[in-house]
Amino acid sequence: MRHVAIALATWLALLTPAWAVLPDEVLADPALETRARNLSHELRCMVCQNQSIDDSNADLARDLRVLVRERLQAGDSDRQVIDYVVARYGEFVLLKPRFSARNALLWGTPILLLLIGGAFIFVRARQGTSNEPRLSDDEQAAMERLLTKMDK
């Protein structure tokens, strides 16, 4: 029975997400805290780079969580908070980057290159062997003489 309890506790510990938000960061106003948590899920931890600041235990993530809460308490809208953090840390801080021509070019270039390569291969395959050099009349006559000698 003891082994089952240990296995269950380990299983629960592994499946339960680690909450990085410390109690001293939580705002007294539940509405502001909800907004802060929602914004924290949209921002990337610059240290971990694969976690939101809400999930990260890094010091920089904590500083960003505090910054978000300070901006909300100062009366900023969600958009203003995000814009402030992006202006300070760059667009990389967003877990879901904004659509822009630069991002479209970044994501579209591989597809464009594949299409160009496919078109090139298609055109080359359609051309077939038509680009091979033809024999001159003298070469053709010499080849026919050789072939008739071989047939005899």
Assess whether pLDDT exceeds 60 at residue 10: no
- Whether the pTM exceeds 0.75: the reply is no
Q: In the chain, count of helices (H) and strands (E)?
A: 6, 0
Assess whether pLDDT exceeds 80 at residue 55: yes
Which residue matches tokens 């969580």?
A: 65
Q: CA-to-CA distance for 88 and 76, rounded, in angstroms?
A: 16
Closest to 26 in 3D by CA, of 69, 58, 61: 69
DSSP bridge partners of 44: 52
CA 127 to chain centre: 39
Domains and CATH numbers, the chain: 2-93 (1.10.8.640), 101-151 (no CATH)
Q: What is the pLDDT of residues 107-141, one digit of tens each?
A: 889 999 999 999 999 988 887 665 567 788 898 89
